Chain A
Amino acid sequence: MIPMSNTILDVKNLRTTFYTHMGEVQAVRGISFEVNQGDVLGIVGESGSGKSVTAMSIMGLVDEPGRVSGGSILFMGQELTKLSDAEMNEYRGKEISMIFQDPMTSLNPVYTIGNQLIEVIRRHTDLDKDQAHARAIELLQMVGIPEPEIRIKNYPHQFSGGMRQRAMIAMAISCSPKILIADEPTTALDVTIQAQILDLMVRLKNQLHSSIILITHDLGVVSEVCNKVNVMYGGMLMEKASVFELFDSPQHPYTLGLLKSIPRDVTGERKRLVPIEGTPPDLLKPPSGCPFSPRCPYAMGICVREAAPLYTLSDTHSASCWLHHKGAPVVEGFVQVEEESVHE
């Protein structure tokens, strides 16, 4: 077992709900996971799966009409869900920072890159103006921006997409955060630039001894950089696994479906893709029971009535699917276990 002191973030039974005029949207419905030091945790899911809302909940950035409606988020022993906005500001951007999909909309177009970087540095440290300026140049250098002394005076529009994302990363790591949350950081970028950015993120993580939560829909990116993966669907966790367990022996029909629906080996023989039929659930009217049951080829009666508990399959692998129940019909590739894990 991993010693507890290693755990940086401990999310327990997190629920985040948006109280809209159309009704309650339960974007995240009771998920639990841990991030240990050095982890690159991938959170995989489709639009509406709750992966971004999970990130926003950790950052304390869920806006009206939404709020964290249950569960706890322990960051190095500190409960984040109970903090006021002012108290949360001491963590946000310093201990936990975030980069977003579209660097153009997360940078302010009327301030220079240097201004924005210096603002973050001075907000969280005691450095004076000159020291902060020097630190900003150092950070731009760290993220691989050429001629940082000149580039620091540029405005965001003078940067290319890849350079903007580098600048965002510079901002995010300026206070050596314990956790960097990256929400689809490379989705807007070209594949050669994506490779550069992912490489940079992992390198900086090792250099700063921090951890990464990488939110993505791209299973290729996950297999490339993550050591463990959470698969989300309809606001719930379907499967948690180490990256090898997930790709070698997926234990949830949704994960299996995702892996079959993408061309997996670019050099191998071309097989017809096997799509997941149907469409993702409407979270205003989530299906009862397992959210994936309406699309699941193995769905049983109980799946529609009740969501499955999280079955522990190994120290690092668990899946929420009734097929793991010892009384379920045997499906090839799926393991059955005696005990289910504690699941609030």
Chain B
Amino acid sequence: MSDEKRTPLLSVRNLTKYFHTSTPTGPGIIAAVDGIDFDIYKGETFGLVGESGCGKTTTGRTIARLYTPTDGSILFDGVDLATLSQRELRPFRKRIQMIFQDPYASLNTRMTITDIVAEGMKVHNIASGDEMQERVYQMLERVGLKREHASRYPHEFSGGQRQRIGIARSLAVDPEMIICDEPISALDVSIQAQVVNMLEDLQKEYGLTYLFIAHDLSMVRHISDRIGVMYLGKMAEIAGSDELYMNPLHPYTKSLLSSIPIANPHKKVSDTRIMLKGDIGSPINPKPGCRFAPRCRYVQERCGFETPLLREIRPDHFCACHFCETIKD
């Protein structure tokens, strides 16, 4: 990759998002995202993976400032989005766009496709009138839809087509970065590849930077340059995607990767699988120490009281485990 790639477009530092809740014993705090750091370089795809409740979606939504972070900074092109007011955020809402998981819930059923795709252009004064309509046509054709679809309503489209409409909507405002929150998990297998290939083509064509949030680990590995693995609000590991899959360091990453069923009956993962005991814990009122400790087979006393920091173990390979250098498989 070129040197340009090494300029972080987005630098997240100590990003924290707590939600308030009530528990049987009184008010509690859900530490959805609990102090995470990562960089996303210009033009790359950064995959964010983890199981439900790990905070990956909250991370995406907080970066898009759909949530106000509890603490930490979100440096986008040198500006800290975490502290900006809604008015100050406006220009950044154009530069950072989002694609959502559920193509049925993310399009307003009472708006035509033109209205949906053009809404952002109107808000950001990018185009109006015939010029805007022409750009809507262009965008639809770019994502593999037809001009005549522009006057239709969302219910007339299949899931895959709706996801294309969502992509056209985000592209219409000419963004630099797109946060893709599980963009293919609701789609059929044969359609997923269509959307993934299109996202790859659009990235090359427009020089886009992606934050790709997903739980399908084989697809994330396919699309991402680098991957961050989250567990219960914490970043467990960050590495280049090939490096992560070949040499995972964190015990959680190891068992997560060994659990992916591979579509090859000659390589059954059940032979090599590191089966995790128990369920993902609760993010409510977390205790100090490593979040993964209750399920970790290498757990030691220190893990129970000292939260491991994300350390650079090898060049560009970060891991938050006290003992990852000494763990042998």
Q: Which residues of A come within 8 Å of B, CB atoms?
A: 46-47, 160-163, 190-196, 198-199, 217-224, 243-244, 247, 257-267, 270, 272-277, 279-280
Contacts and interface: CB of A to CB of B under 8 A. Distances in A.
A272 B266 CA distance: 23
Given A46-B190, A163-B279, A279 B263 contact: no
A259 B264 CA distance: 10
A279 B160 contact: yes
B273 A263 contact: no
Given A223-B261, A280-B190, 13 more contacts: A46-B190, A47-B188, A190-B51, A191-B256, A191-B260, A195-B259, A223-B263, A244-B265, A263-B221, A267-B246, A270-B221, A273-B222, A275-B191
A118 to B, nearest CB: 25
Contacts of A47: 188
Contacts of B256: 191-192
B161 interface: yes
A24 B262 CA distance: 38
A267 B222 CA distance: 10
Contact of B189 (A163, A198, A217): A217
B194 A243 contact: no
B259 A219 contact: no
B108 interface: no
Contacts of A190: 51-52, 215, 280
B245 interface: yes
Contacts of B188: 46-47, 217, 280
Interface in B254-297: 255-257, 259-266, 268-270, 273, 275-276, 279-280
Given A223-B262, A223-B264, A267 B189 contact: no
B262 A265 contact: yes
Contacts of A196: 275-276
A47 B51 CA distance: 24
Q: Is the interface of B mostly helix, strand, loop or mixed?
A: helix
B183 to A, nearest CB: 14
B222 A224 contact: no
B190 A276 contact: yes
Given A191-B215, A199-B270, A243-B265, A266 B190 contact: no
B197 A192 contact: no
A218 B192 CA distance: 12
B193 A266 contact: no
A119 to B, nearest CB: 26
Contact of B194 (A46, A270, A275, A280): A275
B276 A262 contact: no
B192 A261 contact: yes
Contacts of B257: 266
A266 B51 contact: no
Interface residues of B, number: 42
A280 B159 CA distance: 11
B53 to A, nearest CB: 9
A270 B259 contact: no
7 closest pairs, A vs B, by CB?
A220-B261, A275-B193, A190-B51, A261-B193, A273-B193, A276-B190, A46-B188
Contacts of B245: 266-267
Contacts of A161: 52, 279
A269 to B, nearest CB: 9
Contacts of B255: 192
Nearest to B218: A263
A256 to B, nearest CB: 11
B309 interface: no
B124 to A, nearest CB: 32
Nearest to A196: B275
Contacts of A262: 189, 192-193, 218-219, 263
A272 B189 contact: no
A262 B223 CA distance: 12
A160 B275 CA distance: 18
A184 B146 CA distance: 34
A273 B196 contact: yes
Nearest to A218: B261
A107 to B, nearest CB: 17
Nearest to B50: A190
Contact of A160 (B200, B268, B276, B279): B279
A276 B158 contact: no
B21 to A, nearest CB: 15
B273 A223 contact: no
Contacts of B222: 263, 270, 273
Contacts of A46: 188-190
Interface in B39-91: 51-52
B218 A279 contact: no
B190 A257 contact: yes
A194 B265 contact: no
A191 B52 CA distance: 10
Contacts of B158: 279-280
B51 A192 contact: yes
- Output the residue of A46, A263, A266 with the most chain B CB within 10 A: A266
A241 to B, nearest CB: 11
A192 B263 contact: no
Nearest to A160: B279
Contacts of B192: 261-262, 275
Nearest to B185: A187
B197 A272 contact: yes
B215 A266 contact: no
Contacts of B161: 279
